[in-house]
Structure 1
Amino acid sequence: MGWLEGKAALVTGGASGLGRAIAERFVHEGARVLVVDRSRDKLEQLGADLGGRLVTFAGDVTSPADNTGAVAAAVEAFGRLDVFVGNAGLWDFNRPLLGSSIEDTARAFDELFAVNVKGYLLGARAAAEALRPTRGSMIFTLSNASFFPRGGGPLYTASKHAGLGLVRQLAYELAPDVRVNGVAPGGMATDLRGPSSLGLDRQSISDAMPVQELLRKHMALEIYIEPSDYAGTYVLLASRENSSTVTGAVFDISSFGTPQREATPEGLVVL
């Protein structure tokens, strides 16, 4: 019997990368899962791979209607909602402040914050009332950039610091009925994209840099990290039986380098 047997979960940005790894692990642990993503092709493939315990919903996390529709679809399919995982995100590919014009910076801010911050806020608002009867939980994907520089440029880093504040505020507001926590992974090779306003929507983090090799070389554990390596912490936080006292916390699972190691100029974030 898995840790999430009988639970119903909703995962945004769940058709690839870390989101897919979370959905797969939740299903393995006994949960039924609704995955929200903009890519219908990836959703179709995910549904074919994971079968009957998974439902897909094509939608945009920046849309209020799509967020409420996804929660309604989950409740209709499963009869309840126990876990909301806010995971959809954009990265800025370490674009520095002086690396873009002021006009491009303004457009990129609106696009990136709409996904990384507003998407989490709207998802939380849509899911909160469904989570109260089950005394469920929210889990937000943050990043080592929620605490430190060099995990991205100023746009991404600011958005993840905002996510940290959102976790703390919502944990305060929604207690005692709903637990709210975050997970802060580090680097991984995924299909993560950037804002189209900066022309970064056509390349993935995997294309831009050798993430796995950088991590193995510079991080303390010297291992190749796959998205699935990060999924267990989400299972822990989703399981009320195993984390009933935890709210307002962010688990930093990013495997930083030792003090003797130098950070790489490319940065080591990804989420």
Structure 2
Amino acid sequence: MSGGWLEGNATLITGGGSGIGRAVAERFLAEGASVTILGRDKDRLEEVVRSVADPSRVHTVTADVRDGAALAAAVAETVERFGKLDTLVANAGVWDYQRQLTRLSPEEVDTAFDEIFSVNVKGYLLAAQAAWRELVKTRGSIVMTLSNASFYVNGGGPLYTASKHACLGLMRELAYELAPKVRVNGVACGGMNTDLRGPESLALAGRSISASFAKKGPDTPPPPIPLHDSSTEPRDFTGPYVLLASRAQSGPITGHAISVDGGIGVRGFARAAGGDDL
């Protein structure tokens, strides 16, 4: 496709081998961008390359977002391959599967906090640190994958919710610090059918949200969100990323989070209190 909203854009996406990261990569390619996808699983990254119409516009980097030197190298490789960097999509993350504080031992709190915050928050900060100089050159933008848990409770347990609240604050702080040269925004996604994994420290690295969706049958009650009959496939969440990455479409927008959560913000509380059974 030519003439898309991101024609000529060069993008780096962390966590681009699966889930919303892969969906964003595929959508950006369809909109005319060239994309570097970074992830820990080389096979998954190569699968993305094989699946796209024009592999010459995709570059892969096998790395961990907790490695600042690797992120700096990914930025350098993107510039070498595509000549510049216009957009950073900070996306790699883990979920705590709503593991409540009362179900965590002190040791689990200690280790899981370090892992979740290192991936979800430090990973975003390191990516921004690696990319900001190149983004200043292009007057580019950063788009962060946030969550309904960046605003509301019970989208995860205390560790995930705290990490996503931190990402919201990080997005807003960087929007101020990098203005007027670089725009920084976020997309606050709701639940979707994605291969989001849990932390290794809680023995949840092998668990995928997709497995929960696969178990649902015709008699399964809908999720308690207003748009409960809307699609939950990652590709249906990609439009706001395109909008925020496009300078022509969102040039005056920075420090803003677009909620794509099925209307959770207007639902109200499903339960009066979360600890009635304690």
TM-score band by shorter chain is over 0.9
**Segments of 4+ moved more than 3 angstroms:** 208-217, 257-263
| SS of equivalent residue, structure 1 residue 133 | helix
| SS of equivalent residue, structure 1 residue 123 | helix
Determine the structure 2 residue equivalent to 1:220. Answer: 226
Q: Is the 8 A contact 1:215 1:225 kept in 2?
A: no
TM-superposed deviation, 1:259 = 3.8
Among candidates 168, 193, 197, match of residue 197 of structure 2: 193
Bigger-Rg structure (1/2): 2
Distance verdict in 2 for CA 1:215–1:223, change over 3 Å? farther
Structure 2 letter corresponding to 1:242: Q
Q: 1:132-211, aligned counterparts within 5 Å?
A: 132-208=136-212
Q: 1:50-129, aligned counterparts within 5 Å?
A: 50=52, 51-129=55-133
Long gaps (5+) in structure 2: 272-278
The alignment's TM-score, normalised by the length of structure 2, stands at: 0.91
TM-superposed deviation, 1:210 = 5.6
CA distance in structure 1 between the partners assigned to 2:35 and 2:77 by the alignment: 11
Structure 1 letter corresponding to 2:209: I
Long gaps (5+) in structure 1: 264-271
Q: Is the 8 A contact 2:171 2:186 kept in 1?
A: yes
Determine the structure 1 residue equivalent to 2:246. Answer: 239
| SS of equivalent residue, structure 1 residue 93 | coil
Q: Is the 8 A contact 1:212 1:224 kept in 2?
A: no
CA distance in structure 2 between the partners assigned to 1:75 and 1:261 by the alignment: 46
TM-superposed deviation, 1:212 = 7.5
CA distance in structure 2 between the partners assigned to 1:130 and 1:242 by the alignment: 21
Q: Is the 8 A contact 1:193 1:200 kept in 2?
A: yes
TM-superposed deviation, 1:205 = 1.1
Determine the structure 1 residue equivalent to 2:274. Answer: none
| SS of equivalent residue, structure 2 residue 93 | coil
- Cα deviation code 1:8-36 (max 9, x no counterpart): 00000011000000000000000000000
CA distance in structure 2 between the partners assigned to 1:116 and 1:211 by the alignment: 27
Among candidates 48, 51, 59, match of residue 50 of structure 2: 48
Determine the structure 2 residue equivalent to 1:253. Answer: 260
| SS of equivalent residue, structure 1 residue 220 | coil
Distance verdict in 2 for CA 1:139–1:260, change over 3 Å? closer
Q: Is the 8 A contact 1:187 1:211 kept in 2?
A: no
The alignment's TM-score, normalised by the length of structure 1, stands at: 0.93
Q: Is the 8 A contact 1:187 1:215 kept in 2?
A: no
- Cα deviation code 1:60-108 (max 9, x no counterpart): 0000111101100100000000000000000000000011110111000
Give me the identity figure in percent: 53
Among candidates 230, 233, 236, match of residue 229 of structure 1: 236
CA distance in structure 2 between the partners assigned to 1:7 and 1:224 by the alignment: 28
